[in-house]
Structure 1
Amino acid sequence: MTDRNLRIAVQLQPQHAEYGQIRDAVLRAEELGVDVVFNWDHFYPLSGDPDGLHFECWTMLGAWAEQTERVEIGALVTCNSYRNPDLLADMARTVDHISGGRLILGIGAGWFEKDYDQFGYEFGTPGTRLADLAEAMPRIKNRLAVGNPAPTREIPILIGGGGEKKTLRIVAEHGDIWHSFGDVETLTRKSAILDEHGAAVGRDTAALVERSVEVGRHSPAEVGDALVAAGASLFTVGVNGPDYDLSAAAEWVAWRDAQR
């Protein structure tokens, strides 16, 4: 169980749509009442036509920062491999200011091999990518600390992934939000492992790290109460282009409001 306010996010997957359709979906999501609007950090679609329409993550976030007024925005998640960590931190600081303090800095180790191959990044192994992420996190924090002007707030860091030995250790050390993948049982088990890592590094992760989950095609009637009981408080509905049907998100927003 969590004492945090329940929040609903939409991930507008930036694939198979013209940018005008994405821009419209952002407006509709904010008007609907979601708390967060995410995109993702890839260079090619993850489903459907593998060479279909697609747009880049962080330039899009800069546009969303100007377009929106209330929702938090961010990537679910940025691939650590694609940008120098100091550069990424300065990009985040800039979008934080453009948005008036509404950026969530989502980050993960990366996994989509086509992105790496087509854009000339070294794919490496899961182990090397996780080691790079662990090395990047202090650099990101240090760069945020010396930016002028400073960020408008302490930018929340969301780390996505479920690796029990390495990823959850990185979350325990550096994360403000942990985005998990899997069912209620997986969330419960890995959340406990995260707290064990937190104890090892001297952070009360049960209190300090928000649990975030992707709800997939499930309705709140099916999984909402169980996920809350497992500690989740941020629930993300993924929506694909070109139509960006927000009906499932509306159902989750209504459920959130009924809990208050």
Structure 2
Amino acid sequence: MTKRPIRIAVQLQPQHADYSQIRDAVLRAEDLGVDVIFNWDHFYPLYGDPDGKHFECWTMLGAWAEQTERVEIGALVTCNSYRNPDLLADMARTVDHMSGGRLILGVGAGWFEKDYDQFGYEFGTAGARIKKLGEDLPRIKNRLAAGNPAPVRDIPIMIGGSGPKKTLRIVAEHADIWHGFGDAGTIATKSAILDQHGTDVGRDTAGLVERSAGVDGDPAQQGQAMLDAGVTLLTIGVGGPDYDLSTVKEWIDWRDARAAG
């Protein structure tokens, strides 16, 4: 696998907070030294009060593009079902320009049924949603290529999901970053499956697809195992309203100590 730098991301969960608190957390995270700041693409909280405060993903990313200067930004991940794929691509191209070429286009098949029911989207089956993701990604890429002005850079596409037969096949075909779920052993197993799909579709996924995963707690206990599994983009989820970044700081210090050593 290609040697990549270790990157630390934070997912600022856009729930149970006023927007002023989210904006402040973005500022603190960039100042702290994170490499990437993510939100998520839902319409209701995933934890805590199910009807608590919550904000929409992509309008927020536009604000972050203007607020930040250095970090990459994106959704971990956009639900493919919620927007026409051509529209999503043009939204991504616009935020890419607003940020000066710092957008990561994260996308997944979608899973949170309440979002679908409350906003009038057809939930259907997991298989149908994954199939639609595979159909829509070429449309997204084509629309990005057709935009005027063109994106500032080739916008990295991150696909979230770990289904071994269908989702990882789509990752092998289209992704620049794969966000998997589970511990280091699970990630390593799924990563090997991804590379087999890469062989099948004629794409060097070991070299071309960065591995991403969520982490929490002490980096001294988890970090090396994740690196051994091939993960180089490590994301800590942080919730509102206080957005405590102390664990994020531990991972940044761990990253910097490894770089210095």
Shorter chain as denominator, the TM-score bin is over 0.9
Q: How does 1:70-89 map to 2 (within 5 A)?
A: 70-89=70-89
* Aligned residue in 2 for 1:93: 93
Aligned amino acid, residue 238 of structure 2: V
CA–CA distance in structure 1, aligned partners of residues 101 and 187 of structure 2:
29
CA–CA distance in structure 2, aligned partners of residues 115 and 241 of structure 1:
20
* Aligned residue in 2 for 1:35: 35
Please state how far the C-alpha of 1:219 moved relative to its aligned partner: 1.4
1:195, 1:206 within 8 Å by CA — same for their partners in 2? yes
* Aligned residue in 1 for 2:253: 254
Deviations 1:133-172 (A, max 9, x none): 0000000000000000000000000000000000000000
Q: How does 1:12-23 map to 2 (within 5 A)?
A: 12-23=12-23
Aligned amino acid, residue 192 of structure 2: A
1:11, 1:40 within 8 Å by CA — same for their partners in 2? yes
* Aligned residue in 1 for 2:206: 206
Deviations 1:64-101 (A, max 9, x none): 00000000000000000000000000000000000000
Q: How does 1:100-139 map to 2 (within 5 A)?
A: 100-139=100-139
CA–CA distance in structure 2, aligned partners of residues 259 and 168 of structure 1:
30
Which runs of no fewer than 5 residues in structure 2 stay unpaired? none
* Aligned residue in 1 for 2:235: 236
* Aligned residue in 2 for 1:170: 170
CA–CA distance in structure 2, aligned partners of residues 250 and 55 of structure 1:
25
Please state how far the C-alpha of 1:2 moved relative to its aligned partner: 5.7
The DSSP-based 3-state class of the residue aligned with 2:226 is: helix
Aligned amino acid, residue 109 of structure 2: A
2:180, 2:212 within 8 Å by CA — same for their partners in 1? yes
Number of equivalenced pairs: 259
CA–CA distance in structure 2, aligned partners of residues 98 and 134 of structure 1:
28
State percent identity of aligned pairs.
Answer: 77
Aligned amino acid, residue 204 of structure 1: D
The DSSP-based 3-state class of the residue aligned with 1:105 is: strand
Deviations 1:19-49 (A, max 9, x none): 0000000000000000000000000000100
* Aligned residue in 2 for 1:245: 244
* Aligned residue in 2 for 1:197: 197
CA–CA distance in structure 2, aligned partners of residues 218 and 235 of structure 1:
12
CA–CA distance in structure 2, aligned partners of residues 103 and 2 of structure 1:
22
1:188, 1:230 within 8 Å by CA — same for their partners in 2? yes
Please state how far the C-alpha of 1:256 moved relative to its aligned partner: 0.4
Which runs of no fewer than 5 residues in structure 1 stay unpaired? none
CA–CA distance in structure 1, aligned partners of residues 104 and 32 of structure 2:
20
* Aligned residue in 2 for 1:149: 149
CA–CA distance in structure 1, aligned partners of residues 141 and 112 of structure 2:
25
